[in-house]
Amino acid sequence: SFRHAWDRWIVAWMLPGAVIGIALGWAMAAMIDEQALMGVLGAITLMFGVYRLWIERGGRVAAASTSPGWVGGLFGLATGFTSQVAHAGGPPFQMWVTPRKLPHLTYAGTNAILFAAINWLKVPSYIALGAFTRDVVIAAALLVPLAIGATLVAVRLVRVLKPERFYTIIYVLMVLLGARLMQVALS
């Protein structure tokens, strides 16, 4: 839906790091405490979301970030690693990309393109780890209609959403996600 509106520069910097992160996550899968990783990621995500809401409170507009591409490579590594280990690659992506203040459709397209590539890149490692059991494949197949419906609703929402509200919603969702990741980690 957003394949014509994405930032090639961001994907070009993040994807190589994500490939390394996926490989590290696969190699270290048996050694990683997923709950601890989710707790740390949750705390960082929660703090980042609150921080961004604070600096942009009352309609203030913070200057867009101009951090160099190599920083995106590091966030790409974190995105690939956390996506491989805990299916939680969104927060590192958001921490580097949201401060760049892309137009909201470009942000959505960049997110979609990057995570489509990351998810396909994870398939061989999941096969190697034996993650595609019969039950997993059946559950995934049963959820396809729900995934399609949810995607269509989300695409419509992003398209009708006022651009000036987009990032506030992203930051609020980051706070909620961070809290949820911490809750899962502590349970």
**The total number of structural domains that make up the chain:** 1
CA–CA distance from 173 to each of 68, 71, 116, 122, 176 (Å)?
A: 26, 24, 21, 25, 5
> What mean pLDDT is predicted for residues 106-131?
93
Least confident of 112-116, 144-148, 158-162: 158-162
Domain assignment present for 1 = no
pLDDT tens column, 22-43? 999 999 987 888 888 889 999 9
Domain assignment present for 2 = no
Rounded Cα gap, residues 111 and 96, in angstroms? 12
Residue type for 160, please?
Answer: V
Q: Given a cut of 80, is residue 61 above it in pLDDT?
A: no
State the pLDDT at residue 77.
97
Q: Given a cut of 80, is residue 63 above it in pLDDT?
A: no
Domain assignment present for 40 = yes
Give pTM, 2 decimals: 0.87
Rounded Cα gap, residues 157 and 164, in angstroms? 14
Q: What is the span of the domain harbouring residue 23?
A: 8-186
Domain assignment present for 3 = no
Check residue 57 and report its DSSP letter: G
CA–CA distance from 75 to each of 57, 90, 103, 140 (Å)?
A: 26, 10, 20, 28
Domain assignment present for 114 = yes
Structure tokens at 119: 């998810």
> What mean pLDDT is predicted for residues 86-110?
92
Domain assignment present for 143 = yes
> What mean pLDDT is predicted for residues 116-143?
93
> What mean pLDDT is predicted for residues 33-55?
91
Domain assignment present for 160 = yes
Give the pLDDT band (50/70/90) at residue 147: very high
Q: Given a cut of 80, is residue 175 above it in pLDDT?
A: yes
> What mean pLDDT is predicted for residues 135-160?
95
Q: Which of 185, 178, 187, 183 is nearest to 49 (CA)?
A: 178
